[in-house]
Amino acid sequence: MADRDGLIWFDGEMVPWRDARVHVLTHTLHYGMGVFEGVRAYQTKDQGTCIFRMQEHTDRLFRSAHIMRMDMNVTKEQVNEAQRAVVRENGLEEAYLRPMCFYGSEGMGLRADNLKMHTIVAAWDWPSYMSPEARDMGIKVRCSSYTRHHVNISMCKAKANGHYINSMLALREALDSGCEEALLLDNEGYVAEGSGENIFIVRNGKLFTPELTSCLDGITRNTIFEFANELGLEVEEKRITRDEVYVADEAFFTGTAAEVLPIRELDGRVIGSGSRGPVTNLLQNMYFDQVKGRREEFPEWLTAVR
Ligand code: PMP
C-alpha cells in the first residue's frame, strides 16, 4: 500500500503518498487508541464522482473521538474538504476513503496527556469487498468463538482502531474454517454484528436487526431503515439469537465496504432458499441505485467531489 503514486491529506496538507510516514514510536501504533472511518465514493449518473453520506461519516468520526476523549486537531469542514480533495486530486472515479485520527510520538505511556493529534485522509480504488458472485449468491458465515465487545469494556459507539483486533481474530477464524465472514455474538450470546458489518434478518416480510448495544451504529444500517420506511417494510431492533438467523427467510450484512451482502449459510445451516432472497434483492438494488445517483430520493446523501 505504501509504495504508490498519489497524494494523502495529512494534517492540512497534501503529501506525496510515499512520504506520508510516521515514527515507529507513534502512540496509536502501540496501544490502538485512534479513531477512523471507512467511506465510499461512487461514479454517479449526473454529478460525476460523489461521496456517499460523507457528513454522517464525519459526524461519526467526531463522535468516536469524543467517546475516546481525543481532542480533534481539525474541524469537520476540514475533514469534509479533505475527503473531496483526495478523491479529486488522485483522479479517482470510485474510491474507498479512510479518514483516521491518531496520536503522535511525543510520548509513550497510558497517561496520553502530552500527545499531539494527527489526522489523515487517504483514498484508493477498492472496487468490491467481496466477489460479484458473493453479492449475487450470498456468503457462508460462521458464528465466531470470539465474543463482540462488551458495552463496558470498549465503547461500541466508537469506531476505534484497537477494536479491530477482535474483528481480525474473528475473520481469520472464519476464513480458516472455509467461511467468508464471521458473525460475532455479544457477551450474553445474542447476535451482535459481522467483523465489519451490521446484520439484518427477514422473517415473514419483516426486517429485524440487533439493538445497537454491542454493535456499531452503521450508516448503511441506517440507510436500510430509510429504504424500509419508504417501502412500508417494518423494521424491529431487538435481541436476536443465532438460531433465529438459522431459520430466517433471508439474512444480509450491511456496511460501507461490504455494501448489502446476502448471507446464504450460517454454521452450516442454509438460510431460506440458500441464495439472495427477494427482500435482500430489492434493498440491494435500491442501495446501488442510491449510491450511483439513479434515485431521486435523498439527494443530500451525495456530495460531488468536483
Ligand atoms: N460494524 C462494524 C464493526 C464496522 O466496522 C462497520 C463498518 N464501518 C459496520 C458495522 C458498518 O458500518 P457502516 O455501514 O457505517 O459502514
Q: What is the pLDDT of residues 75-96, one digit of tens each?
A: 999 999 999 999 999 999 999 9
pLDDT of residue 126: 86
Q: Looking at the predicted structure, is the pLDDT value of residue 257 above 90? A: yes
User: What is the average pLDDT value for the chain, to the nearest integer?
Assistant: 97
* Site of grid cell 442454509: 270
The answer on 118 and 56 residing in a single domain is: yes
Residue 302 lies in a domain: no
| Domain CATH code at residue 96 | 3.30.470.10
Q: Give the relative orientation of helices 219-231 and 278-291 as an angle to the nearest 10 degrees.
A: 110
User: What pLDDT sits at residue 62?
Assistant: 98
Residue 130 has pLDDT above 90, yes or no: no
**Predicted confidence band at 267 (pLDDT cuts at 50, 70, 90)?**
very high
Reply yes or no on whether the pLDDT at 141 is more than 90. yes
Same-domain check for residues 144 and 168: yes
Closest residue to atom 4 of ligand 1, CA basis: 196
- Tell me, yes or no, whether 276 and 164 share the same domain: yes
Distance (Å, whole) CA 294 – CA 306? 19
pLDDT band of 128, cuts 50, 70, 90: confident
User: How far, rounded to the nearest angstrom, does the alpha carbon of residue 174 sit from its chain's CA centroid?
Assistant: 18
Residues 93 and 209 in one domain: no
Instruction: Specify the CATH number for the domain of residue 247.
Output: 3.20.10.10
286, 144: one domain: yes
Q: Based on the domain organization, do 165 and 284 belong to the same domain?
A: yes
Rounded distance from Cα 117 to ligand 1 centre (Å): 23
Could you say which of 75, 96, 124 is where a domain stops?
124
**284, 143: one domain:** yes
When pLDDT is averaged across residues 273-278 and rounded to a whole number, the result is 96
The ipTM (two decimal places) reads: 0.99
Residues 183 and 238 in one domain: yes
Question: Does residue 127 carry a pLDDT above 90?
Answer: no
Element (H, E) at 168: helix 164-176
Q: How many domains does the chain have?
A: 2
- How many whole angstroms from 218 Cα to the centroid of ligand 1? 5
With a pLDDT cut of 70, the percent of the chain lying above it is: 100
Domain match, 110 and 26 both: yes
Q: Which of 159, 206, 238, 292 is catalytic?
A: 159
Does the pLDDT of residue 129 top 90, yes or no? no
| DSSP codes joined into one string, 106-165 | S--STT--S--EEEEEEEE----SS-HHHHHH-EEEEE-SSPPPPTTTS-TTS-BGGGHH
| Structural contact between residues 122 and 8, judged by C-beta atoms closer than 8 angstroms | yes
Question: Do 157 and 272 belong together in one domain?
Answer: yes
Q: Is 300 a domain residue?
A: no
Point out the domain boundary residue: 124, 156, 182.
124
Domain holding 67, by residue range, is 7-124
Indicate if 153 and 79 belong to the same structural domain.
no
Query: Which one of 84, 106, 124 terminates a domain?
Result: 124
> Is 247 within the bounds of a domain?
yes
Same domain membership, residue 199 and residue 118: no
Return the pLDDT at 248. Answer: 98
pLDDT average, residue stretch 14-39 = 98
On whether residue 228 sits in a domain, the answer given is yes
140 is annotated as an active-site residue: no
Q: Is 209 in the pocket of ligand 1 (CB under 6 A)?
A: no
